[in-house]
Amino acid sequence: MTNKTSNTIPVYKTFILNQEWHSRIVGFIIGIFMIIIYLWMASGFISLMLNLYHSYPDQWAHGAEMMIKDIVIILASLELIRVFQAYLFMGRVKVTFILDVALVVLIGELISLWYREYNMNEVFMSSFVISVLVVLRIITIKFSPDCNDVSAEEGTL
């Protein structure tokens, strides 16, 4: 397969397409996902404003509940966009980004329990999972391979 006299490392084809085409196709698909999420966020923001306008005089509490839920969904969408951008920029996704998305979604679920009849088991389970994710987030930052870059940006933990 390789010449015995040369010191080159053999290159094996690992994709159906070559790596350049594979990167372009994945980038195109992620770009489409990002556009869809941006449109979804814009429609959510418009819906948020309309719900606030229609609920102001009579049903302010219900409007505030819907506003909080919509804002948490928009924040989760922003975190998802951040994951996609990191993948396009670095070619990989950091575990901290995925933990951030999970934390935002679960905190939103915990907030939504406030506005409906909830079981204390659900609250304790959500709080436990959020606590575990926070600990995992701290561990991933602390023991990250590029720990020096993160600690300089975010401060030491």
Structural domain includes residue 5: no
Q: How confident is the model at residue 151 (pLDDT cuts 50, 70, 90)?
A: very low
Residue 21 sits in the same domain as residue 55: yes
Q: What is the pLDDT of residue 16?
A: 67
Same-domain pairing of 132 and 78: no
Q: Which long-range contacts (CB under 8 A, 24 or more apart) does 60-65 make?
A: 65/115
- What helix, strand, coil percent values describe the chain, rounded to 5? 75, 0, 25
Domain count, the chain: 2
> Do 41 and 86 reside in the same domain of the chain?
yes
CA 42/CA 27 separation, integer angstroms: 22
Domain region containing 34: 12-91
The reported pLDDT for the residue numbered 70 is 79
Q: Does some domain include residue 3?
A: no
Q: Give domain status of residue 1, yes or no.
A: no
Answer yes or no: do 55 and 86 share one domain.
yes
Q: Is the pTM of this model over 0.85?
A: no
- Cα torsion 149, 152, 153, 157 to 10°: value is 100
Per-residue pLDDT reduced to its tens digit, 11-68: 556 656 677 777 788 889 988 988 998 998 888 888 888 877 777 777 777 777 777 7
Q: Is residue 101 located within the same domain as residue 69? A: no
